Structure 1
Amino acid sequence: MTEAARSPMPEPPAGLTDIHVHLGPSDTGELYYPHLTPDEWLEMAEASGIMRAVAFAPTNHAGYAQANAELARVAAGSGGRIRAFARLSGPEMPLDEAPGWLWRRAVKRRLRPPDPGLAPEALETFAGVKLLPQLDGVPGTRHFEAIADLRLPVLCHSGRMVPPRWIARRILPRTTGPVIVAHLGQFPDAADLAAEAFALARSDPRVWLDTSGIWRRDQLRHPDMPWDRLVFGSDCPLTHPRVAWDQVARALPDPGLAARIGRDAAEEILS
């Protein structure tokens, strides 16, 4: 008897939320982040049983001011189906274990700091913040003070270039709301960071791990996985949300966790 026959895969729970969606155009030539329009997302969401998404602008080396403004407009007209996270830039980068190219990028950013993508006082119109430190850096003190004052959730890329320990040192002390460590802290194949990510999630009640961008079965079926600290994310459009959900569902040790990971954790984070 196959494993699938022994353990039926849980259907998506009612109210399934995808907490990791790249929405809008990118200037990367679609090499890493394919363009996804709101209508295209809605079509995929309907096919996947997804009722709501946390969305943010894809990587855009020209800056995020226009993309943030457009995403806020789209979210306002979505009837609550899209919650916009502001994409922010800044001069500080995770250089602890950085390769040479990241050091060179960091020097350029300090000499000519980028537009952060949003004024601190405008953060109150967003549901949270998305950071990709190894490409964008992170913003300065005024932005983090606003993020902390508003208790905004922060979704931070994590993996080989941004290990969970860097988030623990440089993001958690400057925030007061939930901090979502993306990709189980292991993107794209840094399974050696699993223990670090799991320990951080267990040690701080504000920390969550999202499931986005994890395609290796052993990463999702790790024996020490803190299932109660997971929240579903697809990394759409890099992965179709139904494919991402089915992958998570197959790994669940208890079908009863489906509602917790697919809906309730997101409710807690976004409340």
Structure 2
Amino acid sequence: MSRLCQDRVVVVTGAGRGIGRAHALAFAAEGARVVVNDVGVALDGSSTGDGPAAQVVAEIEALGGKAVANTDDVADWAGARTLVHTAIENFGRLDVLVNNAGFVRDRMLVNLAEDEWDAVIRVHLKGHFAPLRHAAEYWRAESKAGRTPSARVINTSSGAGLLGSVGQSNYSAAKAGIAGLTVVAAAELRRYGVTVNAIAPSARTRMTEDVFAGMMARPDEGFDAMAPENVSPLVVWLGSTESAQVTGRVFEVEGGRVSLAQAWRHGPEAHKSGRWEPGELGPVMEKLIAEAPAPEPVYGAS
């Protein structure tokens, strides 16, 4: 191992299973001290009563690493503050926040209930904002005290957030919000020595096992392209000091493929020296659409 994150202090949310667990183990393998956060819930967010965070801590310690468990709800304001302070109290500081926690409650839009919308927006979007807000407060204080950090935030968006996904309007909206939060936080926190990036991973987890169940080793790759562990090397690199010049970016990662997602950009435009009349805009819109690239298709759209 390169020990790329030797002695860095890392919080990973939703780290009891799947991609989050892979992140926690990968950071520990590179020398980081890890706070393993997982409240322990089922796929739909209901309580399971087990303790996956403690199990991952035991795995890390068995391999000679250092870790502590945290079971706070990341979308709870006080819980998110406690999570950040768990790192500081146990390891003396916080260097990296990996926001990963989430669950799904998939429905077609006309069948989606209010509580299903609220629950997914809460855990994904507020569950990213609340830990980020408390971590940012700590890093700002460190910077103002003359101890400018080399801090990193890695958020978890999704292809559903970048392109949309049929049957996942709540999840898609939350993940799109996370991408937007990422670029704003990157702009605001850079002055304090903090970079903020996001990933949009494709991997086999509890949320995606039905989608990727038949996808294992690919002939051209020779390994399990959908394994969660494939996502973590990029996250570890983004959490290292080597990534200091990279901020405000969203990366897609799947198997051995890493790509930079292109954000919304200004496209073709039309001008007149005054206000448009509604009746004038039909041919104008037709021309603009003809000049622009076709949008990427929504996942699952026919």
What TM-score bracket applies, with the shorter chain setting the length? 0.3 to 0.5
Higher relative contact order structure (alpha carbons within 8 Å, sequence separation ≥ 6): 1
